Amino acid sequence: MEKIALYVHIPFCKQKCFYCDFHSFQGMEEAMERYTKALIEEIKRKAQKYEITSVFIGGGTPTYLYLPLFEELLKCIGSLNLSKDIEYTVECNPGTLNDEILEVMKKNKVNRLSLGLQACQDNLLTVIGRIHNYKEFEENFYLARSKGFDNINVDLMYGLPGQKVDQWKESLSKIIKLSPEHISAYSLIVEEDTIFYRWYEQNKLNLPTEDQEREMNDLTHSLLKDSGYNRYEISNYAKEGKECKHNLVYWNLEDYIACGTGASAYIGGVRYKNLLNMNKYMEAIEKSLEEYEEVIKNSSEDNMEEFMFMGLRKLEGISEDNFKKRFKVSIDDIFKAVIDKHVKDRLLVRENGMIFLSEKGIELSNYVMSDFMLT
């Protein structure tokens, strides 16, 4: 049986965070039941023929779904052919966890939680539009531990409006003390179509200076490194053996199926993006139609580009052998000039059959990666 990863999208949130451009909505609770039914139908159709190696239920806020619906969804996924060593993650918003929901997850084979905290200071949480406070996060974290969840990720964000370097240091230190297995630390990007973007255009977003942001960036690496977290991707840190297997599927450009409105799959070199309009998505499933927002058949060049972009996000970089196995040509036949240029500028390192970003290269990763465009 062919193996594959599975992404499941829950588009509901209690309140839209001010920085968020994910495909998620507030005030759509009345659609939860119909949506879950459609989602379960789609999962059955698409996932049953595979062995599932990892599951990631993301959103949105999966744990905001009404509990009986959430349980139905988990039962459906639990009845698939799951690998014995499956990594099965649910994204949770702090403040949405309680005994009952954690037990439902535990009973239905979920073995990894990802908690979107972002900051440890309540005033900053309010500034970015989060609905929870730090205390609620900590309570949820300990509750999850008490229920036996031994693989937890915490999401943090720096470069927030009004954030001081010391506050970022405090956030990192507090989370390190809690000792989650995995920490994601992203810098804020002001995306179009967000409240932050509007404020930014009106000059109302009091962002840290470039120097402050660089300091926060440096602090992240040094503090996490000293505390036993290995940086294995530009923004992701893990204790030994706790790297996120599901995200590695994306970074290694491996196949995954995706269910839910707006979810994107990659199967056999083809990208399938599900319908973005939630009503249309549900209608199509109910009528047994297979409709997509977009289907893009990658050319060989597209796949090579994506293999480089995604692979270079990993600190270990990409393997020349893997490139050759996959594309039947040597990496030098395609990318010699650009690799040589960046190696010369010390942005890339080429060593023992691997090509990876140097420390300076990580800082300039967008520039380096854009040079790998072939089309």
Give the three-class secondary structure for 54: strand
Q: How many CA atoms lie within 13 A of 281 on its CB side?
A: 26
**Is the CB of 5 or the CB of 20 nearer to ligand SF4?**
20
Best CA proximity match to 217, nearest among 177, 165, 179, 180: 165
Query: Is 217:223 a contact under the CB 8 Å cutoff?
Result: no
Dihedral angle, C-alpha 348, 349, 354, 356, nearest 10 °: -40
Q: How far apart are CA 51 and CA 269, in angstroms?
A: 19
- Which residues, other chains included, contact 94 with Cβ-Cβ below 8 Å and sequence gap of 6+? 115, 116, 117, 132, 136, 137, 140, 141
Residues within window 189-218 making contact with ligand SF4, judged by CB under 6 A: none
Query: Is 39:288 a contact under the CB 8 Å cutoff?
Result: no
Best CA proximity match to 257, nearest among 35, 71, 67, 81: 81
Least separation in angstroms between CB 104 and ligand SF4 = 20
Query: Is 264:278 a contact under the CB 8 Å cutoff?
Result: no
**Is the CB of 120 or the CB of 284 nearer to ligand SF4?**
120
According to the binding rule CB under 6 A, does residue 59 interact with ligand SF4? yes
Q: Quick one: CA dihedral 24, 27, 31, 32, positive or negative? A: positive
According to the binding rule CB under 6 A, does residue 260 interact with ligand SF4? no
Least separation in angstroms between CB 118 and ligand SF4 = 8
Residues within window 110-169 making contact with ligand SF4, judged by CB under 6 A: 116
Query: Candidates 54-62, 163-171, 201-209, 319-327 — which segment interacts with ligand SF4 by CB under 6 A?
Result: 54-62
According to the binding rule CB under 6 A, does residue 32 interact with ligand SF4? no
Helix, strand, coil percentages (3-state) for the chain, rounded to 5, are 45, 25, 35
The count of chain residues that interact with ligand SF4, using the rule CB under 6 A, is 11
Query: Candidates 17-25, 99-107, 289-297, 348-356 — which segment interacts with ligand SF4 by CB under 6 A?
Result: 17-25
Least separation in angstroms between CB 14 and ligand SF4 = 8
Q: How many CB atoms lie within 10 A of CB 249?
A: 22
Q: How many CA atoms lie within 13 A of 272 on its CB side?
A: 17
Query: Candidates 28-36, 59-67, 184-192, 215-223 — which segment interacts with ligand SF4 by CB under 6 A?
Result: 59-67
Query: Candidates 57-65, 233-241, 249-257, 266-274 — which segment interacts with ligand SF4 by CB under 6 A?
Result: 57-65
129-167: buried (b, 16+ CB within 10 Å) or exposed (e) per residue?
Answer: ebbbbbebbbbbbeebeeeebebbbbbbbbbbbebebeb
**Is the CB of 91 or the CB of 181 nearer to ligand SF4?**
91
Q: How many CB atoms lie within 10 A of CB 289?
A: 10
**Is the CB of 52 or the CB of 185 nearer to ligand SF4?**
185
According to the binding rule CB under 6 A, does residue 92 interact with ligand SF4? no
According to the binding rule CB under 6 A, does residue 16 interact with ligand SF4? yes
**Is the CB of 26 or the CB of 83 nearer to ligand SF4?**
26
According to the binding rule CB under 6 A, does residue 28 interact with ligand SF4? no
**Is the CB of 93 or the CB of 151 nearer to ligand SF4?**
93
Binder of ligand SF4 out of 54, 93, 171, 236 (CB under 6 A):
93
Query: Candidates 13-21, 174-182, 186-194, 341-349 — which segment interacts with ligand SF4 by CB under 6 A?
Result: 13-21
Binder of ligand SF4 out of 4, 5, 6, 13 (CB under 6 A):
13
According to the binding rule CB under 6 A, does residue 319 interact with ligand SF4? no
- Which residues, other chains included, contact 167 with Cβ-Cβ below 8 Å and sequence gap of 6+? 119, 120, 121, 124
According to the binding rule CB under 6 A, does residue 89 interact with ligand SF4? no
**Is the CB of 18 or the CB of 250 nearer to ligand SF4?**
18
According to the binding rule CB under 6 A, does residue 63 interact with ligand SF4? no
Q: Which residues partner with 9 through β-bridges?
A: 58
- Site of interaction with ligand SF4 (CB under 6 A): 13, 16-17, 20, 22, 24, 59-61, 93, 116
